[in-house]
Amino acid sequence: MEKLKYLPILMYHNVIDKKLTQVWNNFCIEKVQFEKQMAFLLKKGYTCLNFEDLENIIQERTECPKKPVIITLDDSYCETVNNVVPILVSKNMKCVFSVVTGYIGKKSSWEKEVDGSLTITEEQIKKYSGSLVSFESHTENHVHLTKHSVKEVERDLENSKKTLESITGRKVRAVFYPYGSYNANVKSFTAKAGYLYGLAIGSSKPTVTEDLFEMRRVYIKPGDSLFDFKRKISRWYIWFRGIREAYKRSRERK
């Protein structure tokens, strides 16, 4: 795991064509901005991984690239998928979408401010699933996992994994915790359900891969300039953020 101390996992939600509105500011970026960021990664020699690649690296079946990155997009909105996939496929770059399996082909219920967004259909998942585009779990119902009973959480995690695997015919390795909400019990249930990775937002661990069930992601915001983007994926930023969060959480436990 020594080689994987540096692993920026980028977090996106909506990638849209239209100009940003105030309501959407915290949730999405414009397609033009996203395309510039992807071009930057390609120019600087980053290698995009998915979670199958990560498993192979951890198991020492393949070598870790010098500049790894994982591009993740939460919720699998139709507009986002339609905007992102052509950009990345044209550049031969991999990406990972998370799917709320109870809402496949439906409007999201967790975006009350904008009356929800239409999510990807089962047919689209089958169409796009492959070596460049992969789909992982975002649970079945997009709930705060820390606020529900043991049975509810176990059922949600298990059902989501089974549903997605039946659609894609591929192994589901990761769950993206809705709202970044997790605790020790949630991590335990995640492992029990057969996942290999739990994706959070923040983490109490100084390095991204120290605990594979609370893997920290880098939130890419609409206001980020290309300089901000470069800073956020740098080794020193990943290291500094990890140390800062670990220290902060240790203080909170006292």
| pLDDT of res. 203 | 82
| pLDDT of res. 87 | 97
Total domain count for the chain? 1
Pair 194, 213: CB distance under 8 Å: no
The larger pLDDT score, comparing residue 12 to residue 3, is at 12
Which residues sit opposite 199 in a β-bridge?
176, 215
| pLDDT of res. 229 | 97
What ranges make up the beta strands (E) of the chain?
9-12, 14-16, 28-30, 47-48, 68-73, 95-99, 133-137, 174-176, 197-199, 218-219
Containing structural domain, residue 43: 2-252
Query: Which CATH number fits the domain that encloses residue 149?
Result: 3.20.20.370
pLDDT in tens, 18-30: 766 554 567 789 9
Question: Which of 210, 202, 240, 176 is closest to 4 using CA atoms?
Answer: 210
| pLDDT of res. 206 | 74
The stretch 191-202 carries a mean pLDDT of 95
Pair 69, 47: CB distance under 8 Å: yes
The stretch 132-157 carries a mean pLDDT of 95
| pLDDT of res. 117 | 78
pLDDT in tens, 61-98: 999 999 999 999 999 999 999 999 999 999 999 999 99
| pLDDT of res. 20 | 60
Residue 1 has pLDDT above 70, yes or no: no
| pLDDT of res. 242 | 76
| pLDDT of res. 230 | 96
Angle in degrees, CA 74, 80, 81, rounded to 5? 90
